[in-house]
Amino acid sequence: VSLEQLFHPRGVAVIGSTARGKLGYALIEQLLAGGFLAVYAINPKALGAMSAPGFSRLRDIPDPVDLAVIASPASTVAGVLEECGIAGIKAAVIITSGFSEAGNAAAEEEIKRIARDYGIRFVGPNCAGIVNTHHKLFPTLETRPPPGVTALVTQSGALGGAVLSWAQEQGLGFSKFASYGNGADLAETELLEYLADDPETEVVALYIESVRDGDRFRRAVHELTRIKPLVVIKAGRSQAGRRATLSHTGSMAGSDAVYDAVFRQSGAIRVANVEEMFDLCKGFVSLPPIPGRRLAIVTNSGGPGVLAADRAEVIGLKVVEPSADVKEKLARFLPGHGAFGNPIDLTVEGTEEGYRRTLLAMLEGESGYDAALAIDVGTPYLASLSLARGIVAAADATGKPLVANFMAGETVASSLPFLQEHGIPHFATGERAVTVLGRMVSYQEQKEGKRPLPEPAPPAVTLPPSPILEPQAMQWLAAQGIPVPPFRFAEDEFQALQACREIGYPVVMKVVSPQILHKSESGGVILSICDDEGAHNAYRSIRSRLPAALGVLIVPMIREGKEVLIGISCDPQFGPVVAFGLGGIYTEVWRDLSLRVAPVDLVEAREMICGISAYPILAGVRGEAASDLEALAEAIVTVSQLPFRAPEIEELDCNPVFVLPRGLLVGDVRIIPSKVEIPPIAQHP
Amino acid sequence: VSLEQLFHPRGVAVIGSTARGKLGYALIEQLLAGGFLAVYAINPKALGAMSAPGFSRLRDIPDPVDLAVIASPASTVAGVLEECGIAGIKAAVIITSGFSEAGNAAAEEEIKRIARDYGIRFVGPNCAGIVNTHHKLFPTLETRPPPGVTALVTQSGALGGAVLSWAQEQGLGFSKFASYGNGADLAETELLEYLADDPETEVVALYIESVRDGDRFRRAVHELTRIKPLVVIKAGRSQAGRRATLSHTGSMAGSDAVYDAVFRQSGAIRVANVEEMFDLCKGFVSLPPIPGRRLAIVTNSGGPGVLAADRAEVIGLKVVEPSADVKEKLARFLPGHGAFGNPIDLTVEGTEEGYRRTLLAMLEGESGYDAALAIDVGTPYLASLSLARGIVAAADATGKPLVANFMAGETVASSLPFLQEHGIPHFATGERAVTVLGRMVSYQEQKEGKRPLPEPAPPAVTLPPSPILEPQAMQWLAAQGIPVPPFRFAEDEFQALQACREIGYPVVMKVVSPQILHKSESGGVILSICDDEGAHNAYRSIRSRLPAALGVLIVPMIREGKEVLIGISCDPQFGPVVAFGLGGIYTEVWRDLSLRVAPVDLVEAREMICGISAYPILAGVRGEAASDLEALAEAIVTVSQLPFRAPEIEELDCNPVFVLPRGLLVGDVRIIPSKVEIPPIAQHP
């Protein structure tokens, strides 16, 4: 309800000086210019500005006011919020800066407390304001965008403002805009939750440097992307970028790879920069859903067609040859003896009618392509506008998604507004057009394959007492349903020999000691023990090197199967994360790892397995037997629930896991419990 | 000399109809409009056009004419060239299409022959013409670009035209433009050779789909990039793109990875699309050479700064923290208690003076950064133009490279022309600006490290007679100076046993047979033979499985070292290519291979070794001994010369090569001779 008052207030009070050049004055000017007339100026001298009457206290305003826009000095904001509470105003936009971002965390805590006490919801402080074009509401200093169906939520006010300026230039309209600044109250997550249900918003764009409540954020994104696309820029990918983020917002940025995992799992589309965000919003706003990956390219010059086809392959679109059916249709009006490829180059002979008929033949009917890119490499001697007409006619007749790349400059200047008016998005290069289509298909696919987020299992088990030695860890893991090989713990040489015989040669002997972290490196692991003599020697070798050992663990020597690792670690923002990859140097050297926020379901686990580059090795290269990938997927699912079943787990490493032609076995496991309760992440140190 | 006449003719004859709307008319109109006045119209009726007088024959023109621009029908072109020859005209631009690109190879051969006979050099046919702005020469139908220092050579006329239109809009000037169409005579290579020496050209941009003479091309690029940068788009990267290229130009495209190798080795900068080409040309035209990789970012909003820093890390620039020295300078005028990072966020408080002083402090002096990016996230309440002034002042005072990203739209509209006038290139996003800087540094580094291209060794040796069995191949390889382990060939069991003892256990036994290609898969390789009994069993096993074998090869079992592969294959465009990677599945699965056109020198070989992702494995991970990388580099150099020393080699595979802590040994080698002389690549089938 409070967000309703934020975006649909009956009246707006602007708190701050109305002297010319002051924030308060500028905000009133902008509100009035945007067409919102119920504006009231609040300042000690009760001075009005333009048509807005002035009052010295909020409670003096005779008309209903739902939103306070606060631009008065930082020291006054707490008092103003108190006043809002007394006057019954439940929503505020705090433009004023000088809070946690300037090291003044106490002042921010105070305004949070007051807002909580009075049930006030607010954006800011230190923000660039909000916009609701459909309510003619512009309490912001940024450019007023034209109305549209895209909403923009941004952690950086200035970047948001730049996007609005750009949008104005490019004709992209907005439904809502919210810059939440320090995010002391409302921030990315609640705004996304609101926008998911906002009937005026069809596409959401988000700029973040960090998130507050990781779990709620990813649930919000998951829900939102069931209904409408979310295009995200997450800054702070690099070391340098991260440093800047820290100093900018004073908040802690999670590992970038985990953010990637979150976006992938929850269905958001991550882009690298504002240009890509723009392109994608243009596509979503203008085009129908893209049913599949087969792309037709029609051009009047080979070069740009080839470049677009190159890009299509990278982004996962299929620039396949026309079917026999389509070729037959093309042959009715195109020269070329039926030898039509894709891209189709109509050459400089391409006319309005040529574009229209070619695109129709490519797109129409069941067997038609899923989408098309039409390129006009505008030259002074071609009538670009007539080609645009042909393209629009084809789009209208087929209802299929069609994008355009009209190059360049003056020669195509008249075509671009025509295309835009007729709902054909155009892009500066064919590569950018193709990138948009590829990402839109991926969104469509995730939407259609959407499943509920898997729920964490309830806490059910405790860990063995620390330090958790390998025998205890193996036993515990087996009890959780993860297969481990038979093993024996032996404290002396006699027991060890006995154990080796019971397990059956060949065996592996490993040191058991709470002091030894790197067993192999310290000579504590002996492989391929083949007989009693080997067992004697192995035991004595371990004892003499590592006299402090508690004993040895004996397991069968596993020689078949592929070695992989399944691990759990804890992300400060998003909690337990499950990782999968090939073991050993593979993962390290090639960084070839699938990462997901835990828990995952079977479908996600299968995608993790297919998602590593080394997947062909598991699937079986060169006629080798395939590994039991279904058992592997099940193990990943089980491991991903362990940190919830046993919340003491801080880290867990099954490495190696031997994936056999049938089933799997965990060769080694390490469990690190969280000794101390991790305190909640401080937002504003 | 002929190219001189092409680009600096005294007079130009346009051959073709001068009726309104015809090519001939349009060309004359364009030439005159561009300011070139010595234009003559040639057509059967001797009709002039505008101020150009008409003649029916070239030889009738009373004034000196050096260039014929041919736009008459394809069937007449041969006759026109004859006439040129008779009239002493040595340069031609053949706009007319309908030659090899339309399946008419014979007509193209004929005009090539006539041109050769008369010593005429021409561009085309099927091309968009040429431009020399400094000679006011515009025999083209494309947009007339403003004069400048960038030259554009393009295989696709229409794409070239689009670039010119775009350039006009963006204010990028051109020195020369050449669209060579089918490239029947002059094409990419000779045009690059010409431009290398052209004093009016400082930057060269090239669009190609294929090249003709690979060796000469890469030598031309190598020479050009010693003097000036070359920015290349090579289309046809993808399968789909390749198909389109084939049908577009009728010429054969080499493997894309080989093109990558060629550009890397010869110093060209490959970009993916026209936008990147543009950005880079803008950078090269405006900026001084960039001395190093340390980048300063100064912004008035955190977000865009972070995004630019993210991109900098990807492109290899170092957004390092300011040195103590710089911090001290900053502390003199900036608030923040000396805690300055990079990016430096001046916030909305950033002024002209703030930008100027901050940039000065970051850039000036020996210890200053190598380059800077200044970001203004233009908002309606900031005076963008004054920030631009501060930036220009800093650039002028330091002489250091400075780029700008002013976002966006109306709010910065007045700043962009100001920046441009003052030689500060600006880009739509900070990421694009940073990408340009990164690539410029790479160009600078290759220029400074430039070495002569290694020369191929003269033919000196012959291969053993075919089929080349492994013992012969090993012996031959050893004779070329590549270390191989001791080996014995044995025809019967007694010899085999003897051989095993001579080599010394453990050994490997391998089948020798011209019929068996995959020795391991067919059970023809037995590893780790430890004693006489093992040798007996191994011999019998091979004999019984593979009765047709000629015998067995016995080599020592090598258990240390890293396995790599060094291979030679033949590229249709560029000849022998040398490949290096880890052996086995590594290379296949991760496509982790270094590729270079052969031969390579030691420096290049070392770069090949460092260039694979798996390099850390060779360098020694986890405290392992390092491998002898210098011996490996020497072996790569030697192998890269083998196809020249022994030109019969079509393919050669040393796999595995065991790189030892000291030295290396080739474990297996396969040599495939070229049975038949490969016919020269047909250009126009």
For B54-109, how does the pLDDT look when each residue is reduced to its tens digit (9 = 90+)? 999 999 999 999 999 999 999 999 999 999 999 999 999 999 999 998 889 999 99
Return the percentage of chain B with pLDDT > 90, whole number: 68
Tokens of A341: 């490829």
The residue of chain A nearest to residue B319, with distances taken between CA atoms, is: A240
Nearest to A183 by CA among A210, A147, A222, A148: A210
pLDDT at position A627, please?
85
For residue A516, what pLDDT band results from cuts at 50, 70 and 90? Answer: confident
Find the closest chain B residue to A273 by CA distance.
Answer: B307
Note the pLDDT of residue B679: 45
Cβ contacts of A589 on chain B, cutoff 8 Å:
613-614, 616-617, 621
**Chain A residues closer than 8 Å to B243 by CB:** 321, 341-342
pLDDT at B231: 98
The answer to which of A121-130, B410-419, B580-589 has the lowest mean pLDDT is B580-589
C-alpha radius of gyration, chain B, whole number: 31
Whether the CB-CB separation of B651 and B565 falls below 8 Å is answered with: no
pLDDT of residue A239: 59
Neighbours of B78 (CB within 10 A): 16
Residues A306, B244: C-beta atoms closer than 8 Å? yes
The reply to whether residue B274 touches residue A429, judged by beta carbons under 8 angstroms, is yes
User: In chain B, which residues have their Cβ closer than 8 Å to the Cβ of A411?
Assistant: 143, 165
Residue A101's pLDDT is 85
Shortest distance, CA B170 to any CA of chain A (angstroms): 9
Q: Which residue of A has its CA nearest to B256?
A: A310
Q: Which of A514-518, B226-230, B544-548 has the highest mean pLDDT?
A: B226-230
Residue A247: per-residue pLDDT: 42
Closest residue in A to B618 (Cα) is A589
A351-377 pLDDT per residue, tens: 899 999 999 999 998 888 999 999 998
* Pair A178, A191: CB distance under 8 Å: yes
Nearest chain A residue to B346, by CA: A248
What are the tokens at B70?
């041919």
**Higher-scoring residue by pLDDT: A515, B63:** B63
Q: What is the pLDDT of residue A286?
A: 94
> What's the confidence (pLDDT) of residue B253?
37
Inter-chain residue contact A165 with B305, CB threshold 8 Å: no
pTM, 2 dp: 0.88
Q: Which residues of B touch A240 (CB under 8 A)?
A: 309-310, 312-313, 318-320, 342-343
In chain B, residues with a C-beta closer than 8 Å to the C-beta of A209 are 302-303, 306
Q: What is the pLDDT of residue B624?
A: 65
Model confidence at B523, pLDDT cuts 50, 70, 90, reads: confident
Are A376 and A300 in contact, with CB atoms under 8 Å apart? yes
CA B475 to chain centre: 38
CB distance A428–B275 less than 8 Å? Answer: yes
pLDDT tens sequence across B129-149: 999 999 999 999 888 999 999
| Mean pLDDT confidence for B470-487 | 94
Does A174 score more than 80 pLDDT?
yes
Task: Tell me if A303 and B410 make a contact (CB, 8 A cut-off).
Answer: no
What is the count of residue pairs from A and B with beta carbons less than 8 Å apart?
Answer: 305
Subunit contact A241:B310, Cβ cutoff 8 A: yes
- A431: chain B residues, CB-CB within 8 Å: 272-273, 275
- The pLDDT of residue B301: 85
Output the CA–CA distances (angstroms, integers) from residue B240 to A347, B225, B246, B636, in the order listed: 18, 31, 10, 34
Encode pLDDT of A656-667 as tens digits. 899 998 999 999
Closest by Cβ to B244, choosing from A162, A166, A305:
A305
DSSP structure class, residue B58: G
Mind telling me how many Å the CA of B617 is from chain A's nearest CA?
8
pLDDT per residue over A413-457, tens digit each? 888 889 989 999 999 899 999 999 999 999 999 999 999 999 999
Give Cα B60 distance to the centre of its chain.
46
CA atoms within 13 A on the CB side of B442: 21
Instruction: Supply the pLDDT for residue B549.
Output: 87
Closest partner CB to B161 (pick from A169, A241, A377): A377
- Can you list the alpha helix ranges (DSSP code H) found in B364-480? 384-398, 415-421, 430-448, 470-479
DSSP string, B231-288: EEEE---SHHHHHHHHHHH--PPPPHHHHHHHHHHHT-EEESSHHHHHHHHHHHHHSP
Residue A406: closest CA among A384, A432, A431:
A384
Record: contact B158-A209, CB cut-off 8 A: no
| pLDDT, tens digit (0-9, with 9 covering 90-100), for A131-141 | 999 999 999 98
Q: Looking at the predicted structure, is the pLDDT value of residue A249 above 50? A: no
CB-CB under 8 Å, B348 with A162: no
Token pair in block for residue B276: 């990147």
Residue that wins the pLDDT comparison between B643 and B167: B643
Least confidently predicted of B203-207, B262-266, B610-614: B610-614
- Residues on chain A touching B249 (C-beta within 8 angstroms): 302
> Model confidence over A54-84: pLDDT tens digits?
999 999 999 999 999 999 999 999 999 999 9
- CB atoms A407 and B348 under 8 Å: no
A166·B407 Cβ contact <8 A: yes
Given an 8 Å threshold on Cβ–Cβ distance, is A162 in contact with B407?
yes
Q: Collect all residues of chain B within an 8 Å Cβ-Cβ radius of residue A319.
A: 238, 240-241
A622–B407 C-beta distance less than 8 A = no
CB contact under 8 A, A241 and B307: yes
pLDDT at B677: 47
Residue B678 predicted with pLDDT over 70: no
Model pLDDT, residue A339? 64
A257: how many CB neighbours lie within 10 A of its CB? 15
pLDDT at B246: 44
Name the residue of chain A whose CA is nearest to B313's CA.
A238
Alpha-carbon gap: A612 to the closest alpha carbon of chain B (Å): 10
Residue type, position A398, single letter = T
Q: Do B238 and A319 touch (CB under 8 A)?
A: yes
Asked whether residue B324 carries a pLDDT value surpassing 50, the answer given is yes
> Given A240, A273, A616, which is nearest B342 (Cβ)?
A240
- CA distance between the termini of chain A: 31
Q: What CA–CA distance (Å, rounded) separates A411 from B135? A: 25
Q: What is the mean pLDDT of residues A156-175?
A: 87
Inter-residue long-range contacts of B451-457, CB under 8 Å, 24+ positions, other chains counted: B451/B601, B451/B603, B453/B218, B453/B219, B453/B222, B453/B265, B453/B266, B454/B599, B454/B600, B454/B601, B454/B604, B455/B599, B456/B598, B456/B599, B456/B641, B456/B644, B457/B599, B457/B641, B457/B644, B457/B645
Report chain B residues whose CB lies below 8 A from the CB of A339. 247
What is the overall mean pLDDT for chain B?
A: 89
B261-272: average pLDDT: 95
CA nearest A156 in B: which residue?
B303
- The pLDDT of residue B298 is 95
Q: What are the Cα distances from residue A325, in Å, to A321, A331, A399?
A: 11, 10, 20
As a whole-number percent, the residues of chain B with pLDDT over 70 amount to 93
pLDDT confidence bin for B457, thresholds 50/70/90: very high
Interval A393-422: pLDDT, tens = 999 999 999 999 998 777 778 888 899 899
- 8-state DSSP, B683: S
Distance from CA of B370 to the nearest CA of A (A): 16
* Residues A301, B156: C-beta atoms closer than 8 Å: yes
